[in-house]
């Protein structure tokens, strides 16, 4: 059977089974569109995660007081339970490799506004926090001491 005869048979089958042909094409179009959409969404999500990781910076160190345990093994050697704002400024002053510090305090609490009530994490920061974390202010103005 030659190519021309095969092409005629295929076209005849498409004419006879129009609904089947349309539904098959629709399925293929939807499938290809879904694959393209998922690849685009996955690429966008990956780019966003990479951007967030880069925003942490290779030169950022977070110091937390106290020690932690994992599997019964103590991981930290510090007996300090708190660090003060003065400690953060002293680190910046005394350690020449440290260019800036931004102390913060974190706790949990309830926020009430009218009839609405939320349990949430509350974080207090100094004006330097946004600069150290490299979080630009999109609109408005920054904190003032």
Q: What is the pLDDT of residue 70?
A: 60
Q: What is the pLDDT of residue 23?
A: 94
Q: What is the pLDDT of residue 36?
A: 97
pTM: 0.45
Mean pLDDT, rounded, for 113-137? 87
Task: Break the chain into its structural domains and give their ranges.
Answer: 3-56, 69-131
Classify residue 132 as exposed, middle or buried by CB count within 10 Å of its CB (0-12, 13-18, 19+): middle
- pLDDT confidence of 59, banded at 50, 70, 90? confident
Give yes or no for a contact between 110 and 98, defined as CB atoms under 8 angstroms apart: no
End-to-end CA separation in angstroms for the chain: 87
Question: Between these two residues, 61 and 114, which has the higher pLDDT value?
Answer: 114
Give yes or no for a contact between 103 and 85, defined as CB atoms under 8 angstroms apart: yes
pLDDT, one tens digit per residue, over 74-108 is 655 555 567 888 888 898 899 888 888 888 888 88
């Amino acid at each position: 059977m030659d190519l021309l005869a095969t092409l005629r048979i295929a076209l005849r089958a498409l004419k006879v089974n129009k609904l089947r042909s349309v539904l098959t094409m629709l399925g293929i179009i939807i499938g290809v569109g879904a694959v393209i959409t998922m690849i685009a969404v996955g690429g966008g999500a990956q780019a966003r995660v990479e951007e967030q990781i880069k925003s942490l910076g290779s030169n950022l160190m977070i110091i937390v007081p106290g020690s932690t345990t994992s599997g019964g093994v103590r991981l930290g050697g510090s007996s300090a339970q708190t660090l003060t704002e003065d400690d953060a400024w002293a680190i910046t002053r005394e350690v020449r490799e440290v260019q800036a510090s931004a102390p913060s305090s974190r706790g949990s609490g309830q926020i009430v506004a009218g009839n609405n009530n939320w349990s949430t994490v509350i974080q207090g920061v100094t004006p330097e926090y946004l600069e150290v974390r490299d979080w630009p202010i999109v609109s408005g103005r920054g904190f003032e001491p």
